[in-house]
Amino acid sequence: MKPRDLLYTARDVLRDMLRFDAAADAVLSRLFRAKPQLGKTDRQILADTVYQVLRHLRLFQTLAATDESIGGAMELRLAILGWSGNAQSLHAALSPEQLDWRKRLLAQDAMALPEAVRWSLPEWLAAALQANYGAEYPALAQAMLRPAPLDLRVNVQKARREAVLDVFARLNLPAQPTPYSPWGVRLEGKPALQDLTVFREGWVEVQDEGSQLLAVLLAPRRGEMVVDFCAGAGGKTLALGAMMRSTGRLYAFDVADYRLAKLKPRLLRSGLSNVYPVAIAHERDERVKRLAGKVDRVLVDAPCSGLGTLRRNPDMKWRQKPEDIAELTTKQASILQSAATLLKPGGRLVYATCSVLPEENSGIVNAFLTAHPDFERVPADTVLRQQGVDGEGLVTQGDLQLLPNRHATDGFYAAVLQRRPTSSDRGEADATLSD
Residue 68: per-residue pLDDT: 86
266-298 burial code (b ≥16 CB/10 A, e <16): bbebbebebbebbbbeebeeeebeebeebbbbb
Q: What is the mean pLDDT of the chain?
A: 94
Sequence ranges of the domains in the chain: 3-120, 150-205, 209-426
Model pLDDT for residues 74-92, shown as the tens digit of each residue: 999 999 999 998 999 999 9
Residue 4: per-residue pLDDT: 94
Which H/E stretch holds residue 299?
strand 295-301
Q: What 8-state DSSP symbol labels residue 303?
A: -
Residue 425: per-residue pLDDT: 53
Residue 427: per-residue pLDDT: 45
Q: State the helix-helix crossing angle for 96-106 and 57-66, rounded to 10 degrees.
A: 120
Q: State the helix-helix crossing angle for 40-55 and 24-34, rounded to 10 degrees.
A: 150
Residue 374: per-residue pLDDT: 96
The mean pLDDT value for 332-348 works out to 97
Model pLDDT for residues 187-244, shown as the tens digit of each residue: 988 888 999 999 999 999 999 999 999 999 999 999 999 999 999 999 999 999 999 9
CB 295 within 8 A of CB 250: no
Q: How confident is the model at residue 353 (pLDDT cuts 50, 70, 90)?
A: very high
Residue 72: per-residue pLDDT: 85
| Whole-number Å distance between alpha carbons of 258 and 249 | 22
Neighbours of 141 (CB within 10 A): 22
Residue 424: per-residue pLDDT: 52
What Cα–Cα distance (Å) separates residue 381 from each residue in 50, 207, 232, 396? 39, 22, 27, 9
Which residues, other chains included, contact 54 with Cβ-Cβ below 8 Å and sequence gap of 6+? 17, 24, 314, 315, 318
Which phi and psi angles does 21 have, rounded to 5°?
A: -100, 5
Residue 65: per-residue pLDDT: 93
Please give the CATH architecture assigned to the domain spanning 209-426.
3-Layer(aba) Sandwich (3.40)
Amino acid (1-letter code) at residue 392: E
| Whole-number Å distance between alpha carbons of 429 and 427 | 6
pLDDT reading at 184 higher than 70: yes
Amino acid (1-letter code) at residue 200: R
Specify whether 354 is catalytic: yes
Residue 190: per-residue pLDDT: 84
Please indicate if the annotation marks 430 as binding a ligand.
Answer: no
Torsion 25-31-36-37 (CA) sign: negative
The CATH H-level superfamily of 150-205 is Sun protein; domain 3 (3.30.70.1170)
Q: Which one has a higher pLDDT value, 284 or 340?
A: 340
pLDDT reading at 435 higher than 50: no
Please indicate if the annotation marks 301 as binding a ligand.
Answer: yes
Helix and strand element counts for the chain (H, E)? 21, 13
191-226 burial code (b ≥16 CB/10 A, e <16): beeeebebbeebbbbebbbbbbbbbbbbbbeeebbb
CATH fold for the domain made of 3-120: N-utilizing Substance Protein B Homolog; Chain A (1.10.940)
CB 296 within 8 A of CB 431: no
Residue of 28, 230, 354, 395 marked catalytic? 354
Residue 429: per-residue pLDDT: 44
Which H/E stretch holds residue 205?
strand 204-206
pLDDT reading at 434 higher than 60: no
Model pLDDT for residues 44-84, shown as the tens digit of each residue: 999 999 999 999 999 999 999 988 888 889 999 999 999 99
Residue 428: per-residue pLDDT: 45
Model pLDDT for residues 279-332, shown as the tens digit of each residue: 999 888 898 999 999 999 999 999 999 999 999 999 999 999 999 999 999 999
334-362 burial code (b ≥16 CB/10 A, e <16): ebbebbbbbbbbebbbbbbbbbbbbbbbb
Residue 42: per-residue pLDDT: 94
What Cα–Cα distance (Å) separates residue 339 from each residue in 219, 280, 285? 17, 13, 11
